[in-house]
Chains A and B, each alone.
Chain A
Amino acid sequence: MARIRLHRLTKSFGTVQAVKGVDLEIEDGELLALLGPSGCGKTTILLMLAGIYRPTSGDIFFDDQRVNDVPPKGRGVGLVFQSYALYPHMTVYDNIAFPLRLRKVSREEMDRRVREVARIAQIEELLQRKPSQLSGGQQQRVALCRALVKEPDLLLLDEPLSNLDARLRIETRTEIKRLQRQLGITTILVTHDQVEAMTMADRVAVMRAGLIEQLSTPIELYERPANLFVASFIGDPPMNLLPMEYRPDGGKPQLVNSHLSVSLPEAARAGLEQSSSNAVVLGVRPEDIRLVPEPVDGMPAGEVFMLEPLGRDTLVDVRVGQQPIRVLVPGGTEIRPGTRVWLQWDWDRQHLFDARTEARLGVNADAGRPAAAG
């Protein structure tokens, strides 16, 4: 088990800087997810932790020991690739035993450990097969066994679920989390899938273009996104983000654009005053908006344009002027396209962002945002 610390870590490939100075601390036994779109540098960080890539600058510490120059074999790391990367010429047994053979573990102990880990992952009956004879889910378990059999201090998972079908993904998600809790291994999960990150991780680091945008618990990410990028990336269906102009004068603070205007309570003024200009972005999640048939004071009216039934919920596309706004309503809704509706949401469920700096506006706007990741 290990506590991991990254200090101002960067990595460049030629002129391209893939990781631009990342500070990160991972507690012993924690499951942390690196979440971001492809090309954001998350896999590069993973491979630096594994010792495959050498950092361009900055440091990596395992339990306060600097490991920048330690080769992969000296780090006690288990790694599961997206492609599983099984050795096709070896049986499942030999695949799992490979790390132990390299360490010259005695035959009896090797056999005991291989069978033990195969039992936990429920692949005992597959030990004599070749990887090409296994399904995707089985290959994934073998890859996980091979990473766990070394009893690593740090487990790295690179998109471990993305090659599995939807149903298997949910099962494996639970399985991996259970194993991780049971064994208490510090784990870093790299993924572009927000559901994967949110459901499995204790904390999530959302990355973009080589930097960490926000590091916090899954709920915090959802409730208080630190900036526009996180707000748009987290949540499905995505948050409605409306570019507005802040009008401080008059009675209540007002947000206005060419399609709609919203008046806010006086309490919102303090946050709005932090903005670098009057251009702000109003964010409301589809699930936080209610549709009401009667006019609501200070709230916009619109017309139902289209319905997308999702089963449990129905996604309603409402047009306010030309501005589309997504609203999530219960599945068996009676609403039909063409209906005139009023939108309503609670003040504390809305998010305000500075349109220029993209930062969150409001009290404690910077909570959860790592200082050096700006």
Chain B
Amino acid sequence: MARTVQAEPSRPQPAAGRYNAQAVRREERLVTAAVYTFLVLVSLPLAVGYGWLLLNSFSTELAHGVWPSGFTTRHWRFLFEPPSPYYPDLWRTTWNTLWLAVGMTITMVAVSTPTAYVLSRMKFRGRNAFLALTLVLHAFPGITLLIATYYVLRWLGLLNSIPGVFLVKAALMLPLGIWVMKGFYDGISWDVEMSALVDGASRIQTWYKVMLPQVLPGIASISIFSFIYGWSEYIYVITFIQDKNAWTLSSYINAIVGDFRFLDYGLLSATALFYIAPVLLFFIFTQKYLMRVTIGGTKGGS
């Protein structure tokens, strides 16, 4: 109560008593203010970073390398013509990035959804070993496999191709996807599945008519993660793809950072924003979807 007394010392204290509504409300307001202040301070560096990108992409120069000044749209010309003949077509590159993200998403969903069902519902020899192994694989740093996977891809003829990248990337991310999906399947009661069987469904029909609709939130979440990871993939793209026709936006930015004698911060900022925007939009939409689908289930059930 000491804080409330300090805040308004002139006002006479309300009649002494244990149930002081005003004091409680004032204290709640102070706590809320403190929480907001803390959150703003913590998110400030991020906000400043994005703000700097935005300002920079529209300003003529950077005073002392940090302070943007003047207004220009010159940095956004890359949308219509390549910054130099060295660069491939931007839209083709964007298309490749999308193909990588979507391919990654499809692979993840297509493999982890049925795999997790089997691991969640069926008993077979080696099931526990398999589950343990997937966990270990997930902990395995993918970067150590870079050279080996390069050779595998070359042998398969998948170097310089988008599917090559998303297959490798999905393979490394699958343990996570399988575990997430398994968690969602585990949450569905056996009764519901047995009920479908008694109602006349086959095991497969039960899976896609009764189980799949109930794990949609899981599918949504691994789709979102896969899409974002695929879209922002860097190291596998620049390692496995040299052919400019197969570049993605991260190769494009990599080239801007690496190839100019004087780094063009304006161009870098503009392309970076261009790269970020779809992910931000995607996240805003899918997050809404996620929020909606997780409120499901039945009262008596499960």
Contact = CB atoms under 8 A, between A and B. Distances in A.
B214 A136 contact: no
Given A84-B298, A84-B301, A88-B296, A79 B198 contact: yes
A81 interface: yes
Contact of A83 (B198, B202, B300): B300
A139 B200 contact: no
B199 interface: yes
A150 B200 contact: yes
A52 B214 CA distance: 21
Contact of A99 (B191, B199, B216, B296): B199
B214 A77 contact: no
Contacts of A139: 298-301
B210 interface: yes
B194 A85 contact: yes
Given A50-B194, A52-B194, A73 B200 contact: yes
B242 interface: no
B200 A99 contact: yes
B294 to A, nearest CB: 12
Contacts of A326: none
Nearest to B195: A85
Interface in A108-154: 131-132, 134-136, 139-140, 146, 150
Interface in B256-302: 296-302
Given A85-B189, A88-B214, A77 B300 contact: no
B197 A89 contact: no
3 tightest A-B CB contacts, nearest first: A85-B191, A89-B213, A85-B195
A72 B301 contact: no
Contacts of B176: none
A78 B198 contact: yes
A163 interface: yes
A81 B194 CA distance: 9
B254 interface: no
17 contacts: A50-B194, A72-B197, A73-B197, A77-B198, A78-B198, A81-B191, A83-B300, A85-B301, A88-B214, A90-B213, A102-B199, A131-B301, A132-B296, A134-B298, A139-B300, A139-B301, A146-B199
A102 B194 contact: no
A98 B205 CA distance: 11
Nearest to B205: A102
Contacts of A87: 192, 195-196, 210, 213-214
A33 interface: no
Contacts of B189: 83, 85
B197 A132 contact: no
Most buried by A among B209, B213, B301: B301
A243 to B, nearest CB: 42
A51 interface: yes
Interface of B: 189, 191-192, 194-202, 205, 209-210, 213-214, 216, 296-302
Contacts of A131: 298-301
B115 to A, nearest CB: 22
Nearest to A146: B199
A150 B302 CA distance: 24
Contacts of B201: 73, 102
Which of A79, A82, A89 has the most B CB atoms < 10 Å from its CB?
A: A89
A312 interface: no
Given A102-B205, A150-B200, A81 B195 contact: yes
B213 A150 contact: no
Contacts of B216: 89
A306 interface: no
Contacts of B209: 98
Contact of B198 (A51, A103, A134, A135): A51
Interface in A16-74: 47, 50-52, 71-73
A72 B205 CA distance: 13
A110 to B, nearest CB: 13
A79 B195 contact: yes
Contacts of B196: 87, 98
B200 A136 contact: no
A87 B198 CA distance: 13
Given A52-B194, A81-B194, A83-B189, A98 B199 contact: yes
Contacts of B194: 47, 50, 52, 79, 81, 85
Tell me which of B197, B199, B216, B301 has the highest count of chain A C-beta atoms within 10 A of its own C-beta: B199
A62 B117 CA distance: 33
Contacts of A50: 194, 198
A42 to B, nearest CB: 16
Q: Which of A85, A98, A99, A131 has the most CB of B within 10 A?
A: A85
A340 B101 CA distance: 88
A286 to B, nearest CB: 35
A139 B195 CA distance: 14
Nearest to A143: B195
Contacts of B300: 83-84, 86, 131, 136, 139-140, 163
A81 B302 CA distance: 11
Contacts of A146: 195, 199
Contacts of A140: 300
A51 B198 CA distance: 8
A50 B191 CA distance: 12
Contacts of B299: 131-132, 134-136, 139
A88 B199 contact: no
Contacts of A98: 196, 199, 209
A52 B193 CA distance: 10
Given A88-B296, A132-B296, A163-B300, A72 B192 contact: no
B298 A72 contact: no
Contacts of A90: 213
Contacts of A83: 189, 191, 300-302
A139 B302 CA distance: 13
B8 to A, nearest CB: 48
Contacts of B298: 84, 86, 88, 131-132, 134, 139
A103 B200 contact: yes
Nearest to B302: A83
Contacts of A82: 191
